[in-house]
Amino acid sequence: MPQAEGAEGPADEVQDKAADKAGNKTGHRARLRKRLLGGGAEALADHEVLEYLLMTAIPRKDTKPLAHDLIRRFGSLAGVLNADADALAKHPGMGETSAAAMKIVALAARRLARSEVAQKPVLGSWQALIDYLHIDMAHLTVERVRVLYLNSKNMLIHDEHVGDGSIDEAAIHPREVIRRALDLGSTALILVHNHPSGSPEPSRADIQITNKIAEAGRLLGIVVHDHVIIGTSGHVSLKAKGLI
């Protein structure tokens, strides 16, 4: 007979009983599950999201203290999910299985955000692009340079990781960026990089290299729509600031 909506199945009951025997407050896991399934995006606090994830990896342990400990160490829910896998695995109380539970959620979030970008014209779904870039780059510990190549309908046709390091002509060559656009049949592009410092404010080098690439593109009919800088505190569009 099909299980009634909202009812607990045998596996759920076994897990809850095992958790209770391990010292958790009676019914705590069941209440978390019901809030998760019945609520919206804010149904669970950040530490509760981690707690629930850890329950799947460590079914017979009170994972609330570990969830709080991870947030203290890595700064936030996003910081935990984007932390180095080895650092997570070696954290007291974790291990590879628990670290994998964190990383699979981060991977799923990236895939979901990327699919939103890939299915629509980029300029017409700008917030989806920013969300994708922020999820993918805001918590990197190195500066990463990417070029998003677009077709004549401004659909993303290629997302290229150009390199890691400061964005200057030693790391990104204007002629190579434009040549790659021609090879791909791209008519426009968006430059992207992150600032590990957290502040997305552009440097002089950021502005200079952007204008050199834009100038090289104009000669061959390749439009540089923007240069987006991602930081943990937000993002900056050079076009919006009138710097392109």
With 60 as the cut, is the pLDDT of residue 14 above it? no
Please tell me whether residues 103 and 197 are part of one structural domain: no
Tokens at 62, concatenated: 């009170």
Q: What is the mean pLDDT of the chain?
A: 84
Number of domains composing the chain: 2
With 70 as the cut, is the pLDDT of residue 5 above it? no
Please tell me whether residues 101 and 168 are part of one structural domain: no
Q: Is 117 contained in some domain? A: no
Segment 81-107 shows an average pLDDT of 92
Residues with Cβ < 8 Å from 114, sequence gap 6 or more?
Answer: 132, 136
Please tell me whether residues 137 and 203 are part of one structural domain: yes
The three-state DSSP-derived secondary structure of 58-105 is: CCCCCCHHHHHHHHHHHCCHHHHHCCCHHHHHHCCCCCHHHHHHHHHH
CATH number, domain containing residue 211: 3.40.140.10
Please tell me whether residues 58 and 134 are part of one structural domain: no
Q: Is 242 contained in some domain? A: no
Please tell me whether residues 156 and 183 are part of one structural domain: yes
pTM of the model: 0.71
Please tell me whether residues 127 and 233 are part of one structural domain: yes
Domain boundaries, position 168? 122-237
The string of pLDDT tens digits covering residues 114-151 is 887 777 788 888 998 998 898 888 888 888 999 999 99
